[in-house]
Amino acid sequence: MNAKLDALSAHDVLKLNDLGGYTVPTRGLYPFQWNWDAAITALGWLAAGDEARAWREIERLLEGQWDNGMVPHIVFHGDAETYFPGPEVWGVKRSPATSAISQPPVLASVMKLLFEEGRDRRLAEEKLAATLPGVIRYHLWFYRDRDPEHTGRVCSYHPWESGMDNSPQWDGPLAGVPPVDAEYVRRDTGLVDPSERPHKYEYDRYIYLVKFFQQNEHDAEVLYRDCPYRVEDISLISILHRGTRDLIALCEEDAAGLGLVNTHGEALYSLKQSLARTEEGVQALWSDELGCFLSRDARANVLLEHVTTAGILPLFAGIASGAQAQRMGGLLEDWLEQAPFGVASTHPASTRFEPKRYWRGPSWLHINWMLAIGCEEYGMSREADRIKQASQQCIAAAGYYEYFNSVTGEGCGGRDFSWTAAMDLYWLNPLESFTASKAASGVEEVS
Ligand code: GLC
């Protein structure tokens, strides 16, 4: 059965979730604007033919940017009763209210695509000029505040900052965080099947960290020194790295003739140094035994030995050697053999693999998209094609769910989900009009 027949179209899903220039991931469960969701969703608006709306998504996300450059993981544009922890728990005093952590900055890479693939050149140039300075400050913030010792490996302070909330990678580091010492009421488990959501054990620690940030007034030095959770997240490192490369390319190519290299010369110099540090520093995270990269608990000083999609994202960043890429390509074959509906967030052979529970085994389409791009760029077209087909099968089996059971293809989590619809529009089943306009502008399809 084709699940799309009796469901909303992908474009309708975006329209349903549009709350006025920003798109909620899904109604009810996630009623605000999320950082990497917004970026991925902008690609959906682009592919649906609404370029102005795509750029608007980015502008509205940047309304939440802090003075220090951070772009938060949630921007609370409006009120909603259905989400915990809301703005009052984060306690960030600014307008619009926001959370106090960030998320994988896929934003810059998306802006490069919006700029290159947009048909309305005047709009693209105007919007790039308006948004680029903020995104440069965002990347400078990441390297400055999250890698003050110049290891080349930025760190995260919360599992939510990875966007892969409940990944087995974070089990070890989270055990070093005490539980929060207060009562609270979760909203998520009333909205979706609790067996797909994190346990109370994790939530108690998630909320402890939220309070910890507030109590320490978000002071960068104090957090780096004292945060009980400090992890070098290989996915964050990889996505940041590619975003920085894309930002530099946008400035150097300067297709809009904005004089970007002159205006941002110092920033670009600093970002290039950061790229060089990561190219070297990331090698400390390679596991020859497992054949992929790993995250690292920077407090306990141990590698987190779990084979997850995070550890393959260095392909997207272009920071793996050719030999490392081959090893990861081999791993992917086996991965898809055992769980065919998208590359599962955790390798199916892992003892912690749970095909339905949040980030412990289901598949997410935007991660699959990044993996397919990485494979293609390393010359592994066969793997890239397989990933794309496996992702198409998820949509065919279940429609626009938040994520998918990687063994059965069943849709899980929230329904009518923006980033899944966006990936369908942009990557998996693009409308003919979008494919034709890409072909006319000479943009090649990545996979
Ligand atoms: C969950 C996901 C995260 C996503 C958010 C909104 O927290 O783990 O990656 O950004 O939901 O969709």
Which pLDDT tens digit goes with each residue over 361-412? 999 999 999 999 999 999 999 999 999 999 999 999 999 999 999 999 999 9
Residue 165 is a catalytic residue: yes
From 37, 233, 239, 419, the mutation candidate for ligand 1 (largest count of ligand atoms within 8 A of CB) is 37
Atom of ligand 1 nearest to the CA of 37: 10
Ligand 1 atom 12: the closest Cα is on which residue? 25
Atom of ligand 1 nearest to the CA of 103: 10
Rounded to the nearest angstrom, the distance between the alpha carbon of 36 and the centre of ligand 1 is: 8
Residue 57 is a catalytic residue: no
Q: Which helix (H) or strand (E) holds 287?
A: strand 286-287
Specify whether the backbone of 49 is left (phi greater than 0), alpha (psi in -120 to 50) or beta: left
Rounded to the nearest angstrom, the distance between the alpha carbon of 403 and the centre of ligand 1 is: 10
Atom of ligand 1 nearest to the CA of 364: 9
Residue 137 banded pLDDT, cuts 50, 70, 90: very high
Distances (CA, A) of 49 to 12, 44, 232, 307, 349: 13, 9, 38, 38, 41
Around ligand 1, the residues with Cβ closer than 6 Å are 25, 30, 34, 36-37, 163, 165
Rounded to the nearest angstrom, the distance between the alpha carbon of 292 and the centre of ligand 1 is: 24
Calculate mean pLDDT across residues 201-220.
Answer: 97
pLDDT at residue 447 is higher than 80: no
Entry field: residues in the chain: 447
Quick one: pLDDT at residue 80?
87
Half-sphere exposure of 394 (CA within 13 A, CB side): 34
pLDDT at residue 432 is higher than 70: yes
- The DSSP line for 413-434 is SSSS-HHHHHHIIIIIS--HHH
Q: What one-character DSSP code corresponds to residue 124?
A: H
Atom of ligand 1 nearest to the CA of 26: 12
Quick one: pLDDT at residue 188?
87
pLDDT at residue 151 is higher than 90: yes
pLDDT at residue 239 is higher than 50: yes
Interior/surface letters 213-238, b for 16+ CB within 10 angstroms, e for the rest: beeeebeeeebbeebebbbbbbbbbb
Quick one: pLDDT at residue 1?
42
Q: Which helix (H) or strand (E) holds 190?
A: helix 188-191
Catalytic residue among 165, 171, 305, 377: 165
Quick one: pLDDT at residue 196?
79
Beta strands across the sheet bearing 74-76: 33-34, 74-76, 97-98
Residue 193 banded pLDDT, cuts 50, 70, 90: confident
In the chain, the largest separation of any two C-alpha atoms, in whole Å, equals 59
